A = this chain, B = another copy of it.
Amino acid sequence: MWRLADLAAAVGADLAGDGEVRIRGVATLERAGPDQIAFLANPRYRAQLAGSAAGAVIVAPAERDTGSQPRLLTSNPYACYARVAQLLHPAPRPLAGVHASAVVAADARIAADASVGPMTVVGSGAVIGAGAVIGAGCAIGEGSEVGPGCLLHDRVTLYRECRIGARCVLHAGVVIGADGFGMAWSGSEWLKIPQIGRVLVGDDVEIGANTTIDRGALDDTVIEDGVKLDNLIQIAHNVRIGAHTVIAGCTGISGSTRVGRHCRIGGGVGIVGHVDICDGTTISGFSLITKSITEAGVYTSSIPSQPHREWMHTLAALRGLPELNKTLRDRRRGAPTSPEEGESS
């Protein structure tokens, strides 16, 4: 339980109304009760404010007087809400120490206040930083480093010699440092190119469940600070993702591509290899990028669905388009389109 006034101070928001209200957690405006705090970030939902039973609300200064609940006033209600929620709902932390069932190499270095879960394997020379939490069934490869304050959920795999910065969150099933997809055709078979680069992950990175980031072929694959990756994303070898870029689920980025800083990449996107995406680029979900982007902006190639019959007509028309173009071109050039016309010209 937090006093509302203490919350306001902790997150740097202005308080309006009764600061003695006790707050236990966050909830939606619709469902919050008297010991919960809700937020209004989008004025479109202002009507919900009046009817909310929330004990307190987080709003923009313009909403100072649009309701009766005690409130936190802030220019960025959603960010303030994130901070409040982090205080009220801290991630559960297991006790420090290495579980008896874990298998830890004699020369691995594990900070005294770190936690290593059951069934986890830590390889030779690996380093687990201060306060880091490693879940159950993880595998930390030889010589890999997990920075201070990291949270690795259950069943995360780090191959050898990879590096995770401070305060990262890796979700279950993540695989960091598998071999990139590199091979050479010998004339009769594909020869494996050993992948001897690493994966370097910066600070404050979050990586979603079952996402895979391959190690570099020669140089490293790099995920810079503050990057947020959703689930089931594929990052190929030697890709670099710039700081504070966010990528939604099911997106794949091919080898050696560089994505800039502060990009926003939708779900189900594909980016080919060996291109540069400049800082601040937004890519719409389900779009394909086939060449470098040098100017920040929004890029799209996705097609929303239609009723099937309509789409079949559209598709047939699309297929006929080159022929249609030809016909129109011929006509513009005065080419005969019937014998009579031909004779009269």
Contact = CB atoms under 8 A, between A and B. Distances in A.
Given A27-B218, A321-B317, A136 B121 contact: yes
B187 A79 contact: yes
A124 to B, nearest CB: 10
A184 B317 contact: no
A244 interface: yes
Nearest to A231: B212
Copies per assembly? 3
A139 B186 CA distance: 34
A26 B197 CA distance: 11
Contacts of A287: 305
Nearest to A297: B307
A130 interface: no
A148 interface: no
A47 interface: no
Given A89-B196, A190-B226, A322-B314, A267 B249 contact: no
Contacts of A31: 218-219
A101 B99 CA distance: 13
A311 B219 CA distance: 36
Given A118-B121, A250-B250, 14 more contacts: A26-B218, A76-B186, A101-B101, A137-B155, A171-B178, A172-B178, A173-B212, A231-B234, A232-B232, A249-B254, A270-B286, A288-B305, A300-B306, A301-B311
